[in-house]
């Protein structure tokens, strides 16, 4: 394989915004990421929603599954559509759809309507996740791309922090409906900013006659494949892997993906252009993002049981632990973006992954006697490392692709995150169950044995998560090393190493 010396220009076109306009556009971009990340509040509200909607533990999970599956399935199509017809309409549509979904969900009379409107919310969230990083990248010069990505990722972490703390307060005081109604002021501001400050594309540049048509068929095949994969994996965990529904959905997923790939080969405006898949920056950032989330997501679906069952902590304790992670993530994201501009994305990304992996390994050595201070310290280490890595990865991705594909690039990272998290629940969750049963069989039956078996299985999966973080660091190091300019930068050359080299077959 070789690096193609012909690299596309990655510097975003100079915006026509003044200083005041740049601040407003940056606010719109960060607000989009903030809104999209607020959904962590739903996890805190699930017990209250289960009781109020007369649901059971299995059915209430569809509030999460429907949202995650739809967002992951639609985000790539939203990014490609935004690149073809403009970031502004997709951002406004996403914010307006999000706003409507918040109102509909809050006033839904039963679980079925909540799940239906969660699909609508996922459509809006997918649009915001796809275009917000692209908006942030486009308004700043390439020499400040790391800082812009740090703010974008930091606002995402801030949304997680606000969602975690706010949900605990709102659910306890006035009910679960307010974790949705409480977001409406932010969504209204996002709609206003989108209409008021985001630049319009010239009408002739977005008319169907002026360029290639949007790849509807390819987007549909990708949506079908991802829905079959994600829902099939979810049902496999609950119904069993030999269930007829699971055995139907999972084999359909690769069939949809093959059809998607064949369509992309001939599409005039493909959802996922083949030239992006030949760019080292795109490959490295997407694969490392997938591996990192595959490993770190054990915190979100196994760690809560440790806090509740092993430490005897309640929702407030869990919320404080996750808030610690989100707070350190927020701080380190902005710092990581600044460091990317000052030095390079490579040491920031690799260093962040090593810190994250160390924190996961450190968490694996917790036991029933660990203090909350020790738990918070280890969770905070993970959050700090994750923030550094995310800032570097977004900086690398948005510095690697042509500016007319910023939406697709942001969507690809969002999809990598979602796929890593879904597979983490399916694969690592399955390993946790297997290891727990194994340890229980060795220890014997009894309440004390169950607690010890849980701690041992907890350690096993956190070691796996740490190992996946180390693997992501190796991928980022080896791939990113090839992208760092060999000599000093020339005058006028972007200070951010771009990494747009293509993987050749010669």
Per-residue pLDDT of 72-105, as tens digits, reads 999 999 999 999 999 999 999 999 999 999 999 9
Closest among 279, 329, 204, 304 to 480, alpha carbons compared: 279
Residues 293 and 289: their CA atoms lie apart, in Å, by: 6
Mean pLDDT of the 268-285 span: 91
Question: pTM above the 0.95 mark?
Answer: no
Dihedral angle, C-alpha 83, 84, 87, 89, nearest 10 °? -150
Mean pLDDT of the 44-63 span: 81
Q: The domain 19-215+267-481 belongs to what CATH superfamily?
A: MFS general substrate transporter like domains (1.20.1250.20)
Mean pLDDT of the 178-203 span: 88
Q: Look at residue 238 in the predicted model and tell me its pLDDT.
A: 76
Contact 212, 268 (CB under 8 A): yes
* Domain chopping of the chain, boundaries: 19-215+267-481, 216-266
Q: What does the block give as tokens for 384?
A: 């700090």
**Tens digit of pLDDT for each residue in 318-366?**
778 888 998 999 999 989 999 999 888 999 999 999 999 999 999 999 9
Q: 99-113 as b/e, with b when 16 or more CB fall inside 10 Å? A: bbbbebbbebeebee
Q: Comparing 505 with 236, which gets the higher pLDDT?
A: 236
Q: Look at residue 335 in the predicted model and tell me its pLDDT.
A: 93
Share of the chain above pLDDT 90, in %: 49
The mean pLDDT value of the chain amounts to 85
Mean pLDDT of the 161-189 span: 86
Q: Look at residue 504 in the predicted model and tell me its pLDDT.
A: 41
Residues 330 and 316: their CA atoms lie apart, in Å, by: 20
Neighbours of 217 (CB within 10 A): 15
Contact 386, 330 (CB under 8 A): no
| Least confident residue range of 16-20, 56-60, 266-270, 393-397 | 16-20
Contact 355, 470 (CB under 8 A): no
Q: Comparing 169 with 131, which gets the higher pLDDT?
A: 131
- Residue ranges of alpha helices (H) inside 174-208 are 178-181, 184-197, 203-206
Q: 272-289 as b/e, with b when 16 or more CB fall inside 10 Å? A: bbeebebbbbbbbbbbbb
Contact 161, 319 (CB under 8 A): no
Q: What does the block give as tokens for 332?
A: 């380190």
Contact 156, 42 (CB under 8 A): no
Mean pLDDT is highest, among 115-124, 235-244, 311-320, for: 115-124
Angle between helices 280-296 and 372-398 (to 10 degrees): 160
- Biggest CA–CA distance in the chain, Å, is 73
**Tens digit of pLDDT for each residue in 419-468?**
998 888 888 988 998 998 899 888 876 667 888 899 999 999 999 999 99
Q: Look at residue 226 in the predicted model and tell me its pLDDT.
A: 93
**Tens digit of pLDDT for each residue in 199-224?**
876 554 455 556 688 899 999 999 99
| Least confident residue range of 236-250, 343-357, 430-444, 478-492 | 478-492
Q: Look at residue 208 in the predicted model and tell me its pLDDT.
A: 55
- Residue ranges of alpha helices (H) inside 61-110 are 62-85, 87-106
Q: 344-356 as b/e, with b when 16 or more CB fall inside 10 Å? A: bbbbbbbbbbbbb
Mean pLDDT of the 120-140 span: 90
């Amino acid at each position: 394989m070789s690096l193609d010396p012909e690299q596309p220009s990655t510097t975003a076109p100079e915006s026509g915004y003044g200083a005041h306009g740049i601040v407003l556009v940056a606010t719109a971009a960060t607000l989009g990421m903030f809104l999209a990340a607020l959904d962590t509040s739903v996890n805190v509200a699930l017990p209250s929603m289960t009781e109020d909607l007369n649901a059971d533990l299995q059915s209430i999970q569809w509030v999460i599954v429907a949202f995650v599956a739809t967002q992951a399935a639609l985000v790539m199509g939203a990014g490609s559509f935004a690149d073809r017809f403009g970031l502004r309409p997709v951002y406004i549509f996403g914010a307006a759809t999000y706003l409507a979904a918040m109102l509909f969900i809050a006033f839904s009379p039963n679980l079925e309507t909540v799940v239906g409107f969660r699909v609508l919310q996922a459509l809006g969230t997918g649009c915001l996740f796809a275009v917000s990083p692209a908006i942030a990248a486009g308004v700043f010069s390439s020499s400040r791309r790391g800082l812009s990505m740090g703010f974008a990722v930091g606002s995402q972490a801030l949304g997680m922090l606000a969602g975690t703390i706010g949900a605990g307060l709102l659910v306890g005081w006035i009910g679960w409906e307010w974790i949705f109604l409480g977001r409406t002021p932010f969504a209204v501001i996002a709609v206003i900013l989108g209409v008021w400050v985001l630049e319009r594309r010239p009408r002739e540049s977005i008319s169907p006659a002026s360029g290639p048509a949007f790849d509807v068929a390819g987007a549909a095949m990708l949506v079908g494949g991802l829905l079959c994969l994600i829902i099939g994996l979810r049902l496999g965990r609950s119904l069993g892997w030999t269930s007829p529904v699971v055995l139907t959905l999972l084999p359909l997923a690769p069939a949809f993906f093959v059809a998607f790939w064949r369509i992309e080969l001939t599409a005039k405006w493909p959802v996922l252009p083949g030239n992006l898949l030949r760019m080292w920056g795109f490959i490295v950032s997407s694969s490392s993002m997938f591996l990192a989330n595959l490993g770190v997501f054990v915190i979100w679906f196994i760690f809560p049981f440790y806090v509740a069952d092993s430490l005897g902590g309640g929702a407030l304790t869990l919320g404080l632990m996750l808030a610690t992670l989100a707070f350190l993530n927020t701080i380190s994201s902005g710092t990581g973006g600044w460091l990317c501009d000052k030095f390079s994305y490579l040491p920031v990304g690799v260093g962040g992954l090593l810190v994250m992996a160390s924190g996961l390994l450190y968490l694996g050595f917790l036991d029933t006697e660990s203090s909350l201070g020790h738990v918070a310290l280890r969770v905070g280490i993970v959050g700090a490392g994750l923030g550094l890595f995310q800032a570097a990865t977004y900086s690398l991705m948005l510095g690697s692709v042509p500016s007319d594909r910023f939406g697709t690039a942001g969507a690809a990272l969002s999809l990598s995150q979602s796929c890593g998290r879904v597979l983490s629940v399916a694969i690592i969750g399955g390993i946790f169950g297997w290891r727990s049963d194994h340890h229980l069989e060795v220890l014997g039956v009894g309440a004390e044995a169950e607690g010890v078996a849980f701690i041992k299985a907890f350690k096993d999966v956190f070691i796996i998560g740490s190992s996946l973080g180390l693997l992501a660091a190796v991928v980022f190091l080896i791939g990113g090393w090839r992208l760092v300019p060999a000599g000093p930068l020339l005058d006028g050359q972007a200070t951010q190493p771009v990494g747009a080299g293509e993987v050749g077959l010669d």
